[in-house]
Amino acid sequence: MDAHHATTLTIDLEALTANYRFFVDHLAGCACGAAVKADAYGCGLERVAPALAAAGCRHFFVATLDEGISARQVLDARAEIFVLNGPVAGSEAEFGNHALLPALNDLGQIERWQGPAVLHLDSGMSRLGLPPQEVAILAAEPERLGGIEIRYVMSHLSCADEPERPENAAQLALFQTLCAQLPTAPASLANSAGILLGPQYHFDLARPGIGLYGGNPFAARANPMRQVVRLQAKIAQVREIDSPQTVGYGAAHRVTGPSRIATLPVGYADGYPRSLSHKGFASIGGVRVALVGRISMDLITLDVSALPPQAAQPGNLVDLLGGDVDIDELAAAAGTISYELLTSLGQRYRRRYLGRTADAVPS
């Protein structure tokens, strides 16, 4: 960490591409794409997408048209970029201008579209996608698809992170039934966890997301993925206080005896969730320390009383995410999931990218 930077977010692109190859190996010949929506899960689309392309990825999934345009700016013509939310009425021309492929989610989008696209089927999520009754309409009126080149038929698993859930098999069966009613086309169903459910979920193209970025694909199993993200901050100040003194807004933490409190320059404005107040934890030299008091906009406070004084001095590094702080455990403490922690990462950190495709150049 540079001397003049108080906080650094490190993204390990070599670990990211190793995670991509992990999924490729599990797919045994099925194509492996990548979800790079939400600025590549907070890790930086302009760095992540080219790194994945260099690893052999040719299929990229974003949520919105604007994300698709950003992805096209850093990916060459070999990359297929799919926009999951589909075309908003009046935006169709922009898809062609930037060589983007929409996921068509309803009959209205299908009616307005001409050209290559993905048909998105709702197999049980009840969000986006054509429900069974609309698939039945397409089967009965195939001329509705006359001007569309169906590149893929896709759906999305709702419970793949819990392999024992019966919804997984039910969605698989319904997806197969719906696909059989439509013109023959390659199919895509599996996300990160779906890939690990087994080959029956693989079809022709898989779309890993959270696993690429180091999150655990499963809710209650050991994480097989390599760590990609590490957030570190330098201690700004250490205070020695004693009862009945308090820490932070609302005097919400009252010490019960002599204590040392370290303040770090990270807060909810940086995406460090306020819900971790009194619940969060960090690591200093491999030793876990508790977050005390309320998280404020720019600062958090840690109880470092159990550490030797020399281990917690101004300027010393603290791991807040990654390193010895597991992203899924921290997310659970915050009452959320790793996806939200990653996609909330702020812009005030100094960002550092590691790996050959990044040339270790900071942004």
Among 20, 37, 152, 201, which one carries the catalytic annotation? 37
Of the residues 201, 234, 249, 272, only one is catalytic, namely: 249
Q: How far apart are CA 69 and CA 97, in angstroms?
A: 9
CB contact at 8 A, 257 and 248: no
Residue 279: active-site member: no
The CA-CA-CA angle for residues 329, 332, 334, to 5°, reads 115
Residues 6+ apart with CB under 8 A from 315: 234, 235
At residue 62, the 3 state secondary structure works out as strand
Residue 72: count other Cβ atoms within 10 Å of its Cβ.
Answer: 19
Catalytic site residue 249?
yes
By the 10 Å C-beta count (0-12 exposed, 13-18 middle, 19+ buried), 63 is classed as middle
The Cα–Cα gap between 38 and 343 comes to: 6
Which of 77, 27, 84, 26 is CA-nearest to residue 53? 77
CA–CA distances in Å: residue 226 to residues 59, 229, 285: 22, 10, 21
Q: What is the DSSP string of 209-237?
A: -GGGGT--SSSSS---SPP-EEEEEE--E
Cα separation, 206 vs 97, in Å, equals 26
Give catalytic residues, as residue numbers: 37, 249
